[in-house]
Amino acid sequence: MTTPDLNLLITLDVLLAEGSVARAAQRLRLSPSAMSRALARLRETTGDPLLVRAGRGLVPTPRALELRGHVSRLVQDAAAVLRPAEQLDLKQLVRTFTLRTSDGFVENFGPSLIARVGEQAPGVRLHFVQKPSKDSAALRDGSVDLETGVVGGTTSPEVRTRALFEDRFIGVVRMGHSLSQDEISASLYAAGRHILVSRRGLGKGPMDQALDALGLQREIVTVVGGFSAALALARASDLIATVPARHTRNLRTSLHSFELPFELPPITISMLWHPRMDADSAHRWLRECVREVCAQS
> What is the set of domains in the chain, with CATH numbers?
7-82 (1.10.10.10), 91-167+268-296 (3.40.190.10), 169-265 (3.40.190.10)
Q: Look up residue 176 and give its DSSP letter.
A: T
- Residue 20 CA: distances (Å) to CA of 17, 50, 58: 8, 12, 6
How far apart CA 13 and CA 6 sit, in angstroms, is 11
Positions of the chain with pLDDT under 70: 1-2, 80, 83-86
Measured in degrees and rounded to the nearest 5, phi and psi for residue 243 equal -140, 160
Q: Is the pTM of this model over 0.75?
A: no
- Residue 85 CA: distances (Å) to CA of 80, 193, 273: 9, 57, 20
Give the count of alpha carbons within 13 A of 263, CB side only.
2
Task: Please tell me the predicted confidence (pLDDT) of residue 273.
Answer: 94
Task: Please tell me the predicted confidence (pLDDT) of residue 191.
Answer: 95
